[in-house]
Structure 1
């Protein structure tokens, strides 16, 4: 029988522990790194890790354009703070009416931190806010949708991030079907009958440039956008009334996505505007609707394009056909229709 004194036993134990530790380190160094998880690229080109449980994410946004996308994808119940541009959205979607706010366009960082939000959906061209929000430990998903491809990309981005891929593809398929109808109608309009048009913003001389959705809608509806050659990073731009007169559009559309400091009626009765072709022929209109917006990025751009098509070419697309498309849109998005008087539009 071999006996060990206290010192030799202690030395033996230390040697065993050292051997085990070295083995563990060696084994660990040979293991593959743990998976980093799936990622997606957002509208600002940033690579984002997808949430482990998308259904548990709490969404906030101060970007009014985000609202139609969130509603279209069925994410309203996850919204804790939102900037709804009109009462229509909070009336039509009860969950949005219950949501709070963390700013209108500009993020209130203190309110956002206290909101319980885990992710902010924000515009793609605001790096400073993105960095400030991320310092709070809140993720940011940036979106941009100033043309049809951008709208589709935004739907797929949010669909992937929040686990609503199937719904995103359903919405895109619906939109594609509608734009195919528009393309077929426009193809039948002779080139020599195409008219020129411009979308004007919140004040006279402030217009949608060629890189904005509103100008794209004009072209999609068979019109010729007079501002196609001027751009401003997808933002409204002030070109001045003189430039509008030099373009002399046959149709002047006024946005419903921003409050106007004028009315179409004022332009039509103002002698200073009487030489403009659109005014002379009585073709100045505000894009519908009073409490909804058909010219903002999102699924409603389908309606705005149908409306422009009808307004510029009523013989090619009738009032009855437009009414049917309006009903189909609201049924698809909200499961019900809304009165024209409530929404605030009149068809001719």
Structure 2
């Protein structure tokens, strides 16, 4: 016998994807592809749960043009799974994401992309049509990360962005967990285009695991460093473009170069020039052109900006860093948090300071 009809505000529907409708206890989940939304009907309220801090993800999810959406619910962990596959857009990949119903948050992406889910005796099962015998998966299996006979990795990616307006040096990384089997592979990435080396072993200290942050390994330019050198008064000499400093250049540390520099720009009191040579015995600097008249016989500061182009020239630095830890073990492991040790980059001036 049918009960009374109930109505909820909102113009949504499953459209051409009735296979995506899932009824679990008093909740109904479905996909509205035309509105790029994943919906939940519960407690007489219809809500687009795909908008909970995941709007941009689901825009890409639905742009893939998936031919089919299937969903399942694991009552042991109160998690709703939605899988899209059979996309028509080049480069698409089948995807599964999980929504924690109890907490109301999307908690993870998953490596399994089944063709069908089933809930039996309070247990979630899924199946994928393959050529072998491993087509079924029971989602409380003690063998982790092995779906339908195919091994997968656990991956956790985080963004370290404390004080995002400041450029920071990333000195070390650590995590709190119950094993040393996590690896930082591939390396960390910063917004300056750097990629660090990998970390495959950790030092355990009081139940946490630590490692120094490897230096940059990427090629090409990935930022620059500017250093200022006060060279005292520069006076003209009898040689063209040669100027004598009133200070001992050997004590200043001004870079000594031979010929026009590559990847280095020079300014004398904010006026562009080039340093061709530095003679620390005579305290004479040879420039590529004459100094500005206002700079001759006056106190001068030379600013040297170097492009960072060598793979091992710089430590990892940036406004933020992306760090991904992977674990290939098929046993259960817990990871509580990932930490970074940072210091301010000395070559960067924080906002509001000179």
| Short-chain TM bin | under 0.3
Question: Normalization by structure 2: what TM-score?
Answer: 0.20
Higher gyration radius (CA): 2
Higher helix share: 1
